[in-house]
A and B are shown apart, each in its own frame.
Chain A
Amino acid sequence: MSGSATAGPNTSITLTDLDAALAAYLAGQLGAAASVTGLRRLPGGASRETWLFTLATPDGAAERLVLRRDPPGHVIETSRRHEFLLLQAAAAAGVPVPRVRWCEDDPAALGAPFFVMDYVEGETLARRLLRDAEYAPARAALPEQLATALARVHAIDLGVPALAFLARLPDETSPAAVELARYESLFRALAPEPHPAFELALRWLAARLPATDRRTLVHGDYRVGNVIFGPEGLRAVIDWEMVHVGDPMEDLGWLCVRAWRFGADANPVGGLADRARFFAAYERAGGRRVDPAAVGWWEVFGNLKWGIICIMQMQTFLAGVKSVELASLGRRTAETELELLDLTEGA
Chain B
Amino acid sequence: MQDRPTARELLGAVREFLEADVVPEFDGVKRFHARVAANVLAIVEREIAGEEQSLLAEWERLARLLGVAGAAPARLEALRTAVRGLTETLVGRIREGEADREPFGRVVREHVRETVREKLRVANPRYLGG
B40 within 8 A of A: yes
Q: From the candidates A200, A328, A335, name the one contacting B109 in the complex (CB within 8 A).
A: A200
Chain A CB within 10 Å, residue with most, of B32, B112, B128: B112
User: Within 8 Å CB of B29, what residues of A?
Assistant: 5, 43
User: Within 8 Å CB of A341, what residues of B?
Assistant: 109, 112-113, 116
Task: Please judge, given known A-B contacts A193-B84, A337-B116, whether A325 and B33 are in contact too, CB under 8 Å.
Answer: yes
Task: Please judge, given known A-B contacts A5-B29, A194-B88, A200-B94, whether A332 and B123 are in contact too, CB under 8 Å.
Answer: yes
Residue of B nearest to A340 (CB): B116
Task: Please judge, given known A-B contacts A196-B91, A200-B94, whether A335 and B120 are in contact too, CB under 8 Å.
Answer: yes
| Complex contact B116–A324 (CB within 8 A) | no
User: Within 8 Å CB of A106, what residues of B?
Assistant: none
User: Within 8 Å CB of B84, what residues of A?
Assistant: 193-194
Q: 1/0 per residue B101-123: CB within 8 Å of A?
A: 00000001101110111011011
User: Within 8 Å CB of A328, what residues of B?
Assistant: 36, 39-40, 43
Tally of A-B Cβ pairs under 8 angstroms: 76
Q: How far is the CA of A320 from the CA of B122 in the complex (A)?
A: 25
| Complex contact B87–A196 (CB within 8 A) | yes
How many residues on chain B are close to A (CB under 8 Å)?
33
A85 within 8 A of B: no
User: Within 8 Å CB of B124, what residues of A?
Assistant: 331-332, 334-335
A134 within 8 A of B: no
Task: Please judge, given known A-B contacts A43-B29, A325-B33, A328-B39, whether A200 and B116 are in contact too, CB under 8 Å.
Answer: no
Residues 57 to 104 of chain B near chain A (Cβ within 8 Å): 84, 87-88, 90-91, 94-95, 97, 99-100
Q: 1/0 per residue B33-47: CB within 8 Å of A?
A: 100110110010000
What's the dominant secondary structure at chain B's contact region?
Answer: helix
| Complex contact A203–B100 (CB within 8 A) | yes
Residue of B nearest to A335 (CB): B127
What's the dominant secondary structure at chain A's contact region?
Answer: helix
Q: How far is the CB of B108 from chain A (nearest CB, A)?
A: 7
Q: How far is the CA of A334 from the CA of B46 in the complex (A)?
A: 15
Q: How far is the CA of A193 from the CA of B80 in the complex (A)?
A: 12
Q: How far is the CA of A267 from the CA of B14 in the complex (A)?
A: 37
Residues 296 to 347 of chain A near chain B (Cβ within 8 Å): 324-325, 327-328, 331-332, 334-335, 337-338, 341, 345
| Complex contact A199–B94 (CB within 8 A) | yes
User: Within 8 Å CB of A193, what residues of B?
Assistant: 84, 87
A209 within 8 A of B: no
| Complex contact A199–B127 (CB within 8 A) | no
Residues 1 to 57 of chain B near chain A (Cβ within 8 Å): 29, 32-33, 36-37, 39-40, 43
Q: How far is the CA of A335 from the CA of B129 in the complex (A)?
A: 12
Task: Please judge, given known A-B contacts A5-B29, A331-B124, whether A200 and B99 are in contact too, CB under 8 Å.
Answer: yes
Residue of B nearest to A196 (CB): B112
User: Within 8 Å CB of B90, what residues of A?
Assistant: 194, 196
Q: How far is the CA of A109 from the CA of B21 in the complex (A)?
A: 46
Q: How far is the CA of A194 from the CA of B112 in the complex (A)?
A: 12
| Complex contact A199–B95 (CB within 8 A) | yes
Residues 79 to 124 of chain A near chain B (Cβ within 8 Å): none
| Complex contact B108–A200 (CB within 8 A) | yes
Residue of B nearest to A341 (CB): B113
| Complex contact B120–A338 (CB within 8 A) | yes
Q: How far is the CB of A131 from chain B (nearest CB, A)?
A: 15
A186 within 8 A of B: no
Measured CB to CB, the residues of B under 8 A from A are 29, 32-33, 36-37, 39-40, 43, 84, 87-88, 90-91, 94-95, 97, 99-100, 108-109, 111-113, 115-117, 119-120, 122-124, 127-128
Nearest first, the 9 closest Cβ-Cβ pairs linking A and B are A334-B119, A331-B123, A199-B94, A194-B91, A337-B116, A194-B87, A196-B112, A324-B37, A194-B88
- 12 CB < 8 A contacts A-B: A193-B84, A194-B88, A196-B90, A200-B109, A203-B100, A324-B40, A331-B124, A335-B123, A338-B127, A338-B128, A341-B109, A345-B109
Excluding A196-B94, A196-B115, A199-B94, 12 further A-B contacts by CB distance (< 8 Å) are A43-B29, A196-B91, A200-B94, A203-B99, A324-B33, A327-B40, A328-B36, A328-B39, A331-B119, A337-B116, A337-B119, A338-B116
Measured CB to CB, the residues of A under 8 A from B are 5, 43, 193-197, 199-200, 203, 207, 324-325, 327-328, 331-332, 334-335, 337-338, 341, 345
